[in-house]
Amino acid sequence: MTFATFAAAQVLRVVPRVRLSQAVGRLCDTTVPAPLSRLAASIYCRAYGVNLEEAADSNGTYSSFDEFFTRRLRDGVRPIADADVVSPADGNLVHVGPVTAGSRITVKSTAYRVGELIGDELEAKRYEGGSFGIVYLSPRDYHRVHSPVSGRLVLVRSLAGDLYPVNSIGERHIPNLFVRNQRVALVIDTPADRPQPLGRVTVVMVGAIIVGRITVTALGGADTRPGVYPIEPSASLSPGDEIGVFHLGSTAVIFVEPGTTLSRDPGPIRYGQALSSR
């Protein structure tokens, strides 16, 4: 720990994080002239190493910064692996591990209750003895989130919370970081007639400071307000189908039931790459 990171953490504790993020979000939604859009995108790409050659039909011009940040990719640039479970997002796979007794996971020496993270203590029992993985999305990454499995999206839980940064400063200085932030849990039921059924898979999108908005594709792309949203009829998904969008930030956490093990080593990952082996 350095004095700088400690000082930054203390500042984050006192700033109005949610109001600040809402204000920045409104600014990011503002339409900007094409020359300014191209200049802003160019500066951002140089600063963070963004590869715009992967983006779909943009020519470097976006109507707003939010449109730039949530840019789509060209077809075919993310092949989908032949695996039971694939990564739901681009980013850095920072942790893979077991869901232990009491439906808990441990991340950077901090224990979290799965029920608190996904918003349902009873549902969390499904994952005891299963696996979890965490993908951190940095500012350079593509920020749409995709289905890690074949199945049907049956339920969305949107959970109110704060908007701390999900980075090394937040992890080190903000107790229970993941369950303090706003988050959205997407519940996917996989086919029961598979030779080796996977059961239920949950992907949790965790928000972060600066905008912090999360939208769910099956809910029409509007900002996802706190609440429980049954998807009726359920939405059919193939691995790699889009399920949600981060409007800046943050982190995707995936849970699988016992019988499936997430086994990839931590490190850079792209959506569609294998998280489990057959």
Which residues are the active-site residues?
Answer: 90, 146, 250
Sheet of 200-206, strands arranged across:
227-237, 151-159, 183-189, 200-206, 251-256, 131-136, 91-98, 267-269
| Element of type H or E holding 105 | strand 104-107
| Element of type H or E holding 153 | strand 151-159
- Residue 46, sorted as left (phi over 0), alpha (psi -120 to 50) or beta, turns out to be alpha
Opening angle at CA 248, ends 205 and 17, nearest 5: 90
3-class SS at 123?
helix
Cβ within 8 Å of residue 111, ≥6 positions away: 104, 105
